[in-house]
Amino acid sequence: MIRFEKKEHLKILIFISDLIRKISKGDRTKRISKKIEFLLKKEAKNKKKISIVDFGCGSMEISKKIQHNKFIKKIAGVDIFKSKFKYKKLEYFQYKKIKDLKKFKCDVILLVDVLHHIGVNESFKLLKKLSKYSKLIIIKDHFEHGQISRQLLRFVDFYANYAYGVVIPKIYYSEKTWIKTIKLSKLKQLYFEKNFQQHDGLFNLILNKKHHFISVLKK
């Protein structure tokens, strides 16, 4: 997935990575965006329109796919990269401090494959902080299943992020550590889906659905 402010010497690496994804049906955004749309519609039933913060948004590929929905008022993408990106309902903001989220007055925060980079044992702290600015948090993340599974996730994470300097975690969630994270965050889980199929084709064979889960947390 291409992010903002690409360095010249990394363009060829990013091009090759995106080409492999396209040939191998490795686009994760299609299935994830459809699931997020489904979950957002439930929240939108009680409101005419909802505002969203896409936290750790990258190049906002997920947000671009869902922004056409009439029940979405606006989406603010937040990440550490410098950029001036604005398109219809979408606007990008460089992340500086968590308190800056107050100005967005959002109904939902999205965390798509972000939490594991924060750290499995530390991510509850971020969830607690984010819950001050939104009552609903939609999360997509990974489960590991033993050492081989863990190293496979690390390899795929490295492949997806090596061109961007993103820290690769040493461990990922298990169902047990995810339950612990929810308890420590003092949030309630409204929806949980494990074995979420993210990819098709070759990428699904490499990293199948047992490695992915969806969760909706509420304050």
For position 212, what pLDDT does the model report? 95
Least confident stretch, 9-18, 33-42, 132-141 = 9-18
pLDDT above 90 covers a percentage of the chain that reads 56
Give the model's confidence band at 23: pLDDT under 50 very low, under 70 low, under 90 confident, else very high: low
Element (H, E) at 38: helix 29-44
Tens digits of per-residue pLDDT, 93-109?
A: 998 899 989 898 899 99
Beta-bridge partners for 72: 50
Structure confidence at residue 68 (pLDDT): 92
Per-residue pLDDT at 44 exceeds 60? yes
Selected residue with higher pLDDT from 72 and 83: 72
Q: What pTM did the predictor assign?
A: 0.87
**Token pair in block for residue 134:** 């939104």
Q: What is the pLDDT of residue 15?
A: 66
Give the pLDDT confidence of 118-142 residue by residue, as tens digits.
999 999 999 999 999 998 999 999 9
Residue 136 confidence (pLDDT): 96
Count CB atoms within 10 A of the CB of residue 67: 18
For residues 55-64, give the mean pLDDT: 88
Closest CA to 40 of 70, 79, 1, 64: 70
Q: What one-letter code names the amino acid at 64?
A: K
User: Which residue did the predictor score with more confidence, 164 or 123?
Assistant: 123
Q: Which of 8-22, 81-95, 182-196 has the highest mean pLDDT?
A: 182-196
Say what the pLDDT of residue 111 is.
97
Partners of 112 in beta bridges = 140
Burial 107-124 (b: 16+ CB within 10 A, else e): bbbbbbbbbbebebeebb
Of the two residues 190 and 85, the one the predictor is more confident about is 190
- Compute how many other C-beta atoms are within 10 angstroms of the C-beta atom of residue 212: 22
Q: How far apart are CA 186 and CA 219, in angstroms?
A: 7
Predicted local confidence at residue 149, as pLDDT: 94
**Alpha carbon distance 154, 161 (integer Å):** 10
Q: Which comes out higher in pLDDT, residue 184 or 82?
A: 184
Q: Which structural domains are found in the chain, ordered by start?
A: 8-218 (3.40.50.150)
pLDDT of residue 11: 64
